[in-house]
Amino acid sequence: MTSKERTRAAIEHRQPDRVPIDFGASFITGIHCSVIENLRRHYKLEPHPVKICEPYQMLGWVEDDLREVMGVDTTSILPNRTIFGFVNENWKPWRTPWGQDVLVSEHFQVEERADGIYIHPQGDRSAAPSGHLPKTGYFFDSIIRQGEIDEDHLKVEENMEEFGVMKAAEEEYWREQAELFRGSDRAVVTHLNGTALGDIALVPAPFLKEPKGVRDIAQWYMTVATDPDFVAELFDRQVEIALGNLAKLHEIAGDVIDIVVVCGTDFGTQESTFCSRTTYDDIWLPRYRRINDWIHRHTNWKTFKHSCGAIEGFLPGIIESGFDIINPVQCSAKGMDARLLKERHGDRITFWGGGVNTQKTLPFGTPEEVRAEVLDRCETFAPSGGFVFNAIHNVQALTPTENVVAMIEAVHSFNGGRA
């Protein structure tokens, strides 16, 4: 099987020739730039600065030579703008607070202060910063810039600024990317624009210069609980715009794309959930269903849902919403035992992730412990397809290189060795 065939077989619950692997195809299955540099050094690849493809989490671009040596089956068409609202182009050198020389977009505009690095939205230094990288940190945090709001008279329009019809520049970007990736033997993954529906990473709008509306994270969660009609109307209007953009995207690149990341909204914590299942069913499920139904009627794309945490009780609703894939499969959260997940839901949804714990085992375990956990997860999730190997969320800074290598080699060992 080609990588594309292997990945699609797994998603369609057919047994592939071996477990497909993803690293770097999305902003939730990526690798921190510092780890990428170490991996390139370990595999004796050409030394050069890592490109920061997603500055919010300081994720590095996994280039084709690294994909090849790791045995990765996926590739990615990244969004044409970063979470801070600028285009990645005309790369320039930058030294990180931890001393790594990387490449960033010319629009990556930051200032250093006593407590760390501040980044400006859309590369505009005249705008107030929208992100903060602490002095001893390894990624940016959003800066909450919510103005005064009248909780009794919220205006949907104020939370709609970032949603609009695809513009000519974005259409041209997609045409160029479609030509670059047409004929790829890897599974092509991309993020959809405007389908996130309450993704908490996007609510503060770090890509806008002066965001209006409900932008404080705590305020957003309160609004979901106290004013569900407002949230429902907002989502309805987002979906209408998104469906029009999906039609354009399909016209331009429909035959190139294999998997679309629809939404990264988290519903779970380590122990519980952010809302009730009833709230999910009332507010999210019918809107997700409209998006997924359109995609499945008009395209061959497979739809990808991300949610961290203890969401086992939400999986029936996520499946009913029409999603083909769930990520990151946080097996360490309450009720998320790998065997239970496979037994209860493994015939109806693909587990993309769950391969190793990135909070404990991968960063703090021994290579032997990493190997044992990876093999156990592959043995649990791989039978009858429905499994794409990835760590549980992004591989973080300070993760030992030997542990990342042990993770990759364990998957290949499970697969019977490298082809």
Q: State residue 419's pLDDT score.
A: 57
The pLDDT mean for the chain works out to 97
Does the pLDDT of residue 299 top 90, yes or no?
Answer: yes
Cα 265 to its chain centre, rounded Å, is 10
Tokens 């690849």 map to which residue?
45
For residue range 21-37, what is the model confidence (pLDDT) as tens digits? 999 999 999 999 999 99
The strand order across the sheet containing 387-388 reads 74-77, 187-191, 259-263, 302-306, 325-327, 350-352, 387-388
Q: Which of 81, 213, 234, 230 lies closest to 145 in space, CA to CA?
A: 213
CA distance linking residue 285 with residue 277, whole number of Å: 10
For residue range 59-73, what is the model confidence (pLDDT) as tens digits? 999 999 999 999 999
pLDDT band at 241 (very low <50, low <70, confident <90, very high): very high
CA distance linking residue 199 with residue 183, whole number of Å: 32
For residue range 87-120, what is the model confidence (pLDDT) as tens digits? 999 999 999 999 999 999 999 999 999 999 999 9
- The conformation of residue 91, written as its DSSP 8-state character, comes to -
CA distance linking residue 396 with residue 92, whole number of Å: 24
Which carries the bigger pLDDT value, residue 417 or residue 294?
294
Contact of 223 with 234, CB cutoff 8 Å = no
Does the pLDDT of residue 351 top 70, yes or no?
Answer: yes
Contact of 390 with 27, CB cutoff 8 Å = no
pLDDT band at 55 (very low <50, low <70, confident <90, very high): very high
Contact of 11 with 350, CB cutoff 8 Å = yes
DSSP sequence for 355-385:
SS-TTTHHHHS-HHHHHHHHHHHHHHH-TTS
For residue range 170-188, what is the model confidence (pLDDT) as tens digits? 999 999 999 999 999 999 9
Contact of 39 with 369, CB cutoff 8 Å = no
Q: State residue 97's pLDDT score.
A: 97
Does the pLDDT of residue 219 top 70, yes or no?
Answer: yes
Does the pLDDT of residue 205 top 60, yes or no?
Answer: yes
Q: Which residues contact 402 (CB under 8 A, 6 or more apart)?
A: 367
Does the pLDDT of residue 417 top 90, yes or no?
Answer: no
Number of neighbouring beta carbons within 10 Å of residue 352: 35
3-state helix, strand, coil in the chain (%, to 5): 35, 15, 50
Q: State residue 225's pLDDT score.
A: 96
Average pLDDT over residues 302-320: 98
Contact of 198 with 265, CB cutoff 8 Å = yes
Query: What is the SS3 assignment for 283?
Result: helix
- Which spans in 254-352 are helix H? 277-279, 285-298, 315-320, 338-345
Burial of 143 (0-12, 13-18, 19+ CB in 10 A): middle
Handedness of CA 123, 242, 171, 183 (dihedral sign): positive
Query: What is the SS3 assignment for 71?
Result: coil
Domains, the chain: 3-44+69-82+149-414 (3.20.20.210)
For residue range 250-291, what is the model confidence (pLDDT) as tens digits? 999 999 999 999 999 999 999 999 999 999 999 999 999 999
Helices and strands in the chain: count of H runs, count of E runs: 13, 15
Which carries the bigger pLDDT value, residue 419 or residue 240?
240
Please state the pTM of the whole predicted model. Answer: 0.97
